[in-house]
Amino acid sequence: MMKKYVFILFLMIATFFAFAQEVSTHQYKNINGEQLKLDVYQPTIKDAKKSSVIIFFHGGGLVTGKKEQMKEQCQFFSERGLVTVTANYHLLPKGDPNAQSQVEQCIRDAKSAVRWIKENAEKLQIDTNIVLLGGGSAGGFLATEVALNNDINEVSDNLKISTKVKALILYNPAYIPEKRYNPSVLNLVNKSTPPSILFFGSEDKFKPGGEEFLKLLNQHKIVSKLWVAKGENHGFFNKEGWKEASNVKAINFLRTIGLAKGAQEKEPSDFALIAIKPVTN
């Protein structure tokens, strides 16, 4: 009997390690003694030699936060076959009246993270033809800047490596009204903007900026969706229930536009997100 239990325990342990998530941490940049790191989550199940990748940037108003904030999003997408990454970046000093002048450094860091991932694609088993970006709040702002802003770059980067991406997954991205989020994302939208999906709580003060972004995408005939959680505020996407609802919407969106594999997943009925249509007049 004891041998039977030992054998069952062995099978349980073996199964756990077979499906355990492989996570590795890497330093992608050292700037003025500040070590910037990112975490790479390998897919739990792979059906190809190389996988597409999504890189997430955390929120926190550019003054606080850490890469681990996007851990559960990384786990969700890696469980569906994507390599996922969450990266730290330079944070603005709290209370510094000149902090706004350092926003461009945050953008340069985010671009450096994307370039590091592409440079190390072979080692990480990544298909550089399918690179996606995402983020929450300030991280959504950074993801959009990386994808659209051609003027801000770290001069020490390999600038031959493009930071263009195939799609954006944006959880309550912070565009307006705060002056901190400059240069303005809304001035950068053009016909080359990638397909985008956005999420906001109906009470989020940043929602009007997302609606304006959606309107501009629609004018350029870019595939885009904006989903709203009724009665919720900023950061709703990290609440239980809403988290799953948002992530399922996002992966289904990627599948619809051919950037992720698998069948459409059923969304939680108790946490229904409402579609917002852009007003173009």
SS (H, E, C) 252-270: HHHHHCCCCCCCCCCCCHH
Query: By C-alpha distance, which of 196, 201, 186, 178 is closest to 274?
Result: 201
Please tell me the predicted confidence (pLDDT) of residue 9: 43
The H or E element spanning position 4 is helix 2-19
pLDDT at 226: 98
What tokens were used for 201? 């709580």
Residue 17's pLDDT band, with cuts at 50, 70 and 90, is: very low
Q: Residue 46 carries which side chain, given as an amino acid letter?
A: K
> How is residue 99 annotated by DSSP?
G
Q: pTM of the predicted model, to two decimals?
A: 0.90
Q: At what angle do helices 71-78 and 242-256 cross, to 10 degrees?
A: 40
Q: Alpha-carbon distance 166 to 131, whole Å?
A: 6
The pLDDT tens digits of the residues spanning 85-106 come to 999 999 999 888 788 889 999 9
- Please give the mean pLDDT across all residues of the chain: 91
| d(C-alpha 221, C-alpha 257), whole Å | 14
**What is the pLDDT confidence band of residue 25, given thresholds at 50, 70 and 90?**
very high
Residue-wise pLDDT for 40-65, tens only, equals: 999 987 766 789 999 999 999 999 99
**Phi/psi at 246 (nearest 5 deg)?**
-70, -45
Name the band, by pLDDT with cuts 50, 70 and 90, for residue 281. low
Q: Is the pLDDT of residue 276 over 50?
A: yes
pLDDT exceeds 80 at position 216: yes
Q: What is the pLDDT of residue 95?
A: 81
Domains of the chain: 22-275 (3.40.50.1820)
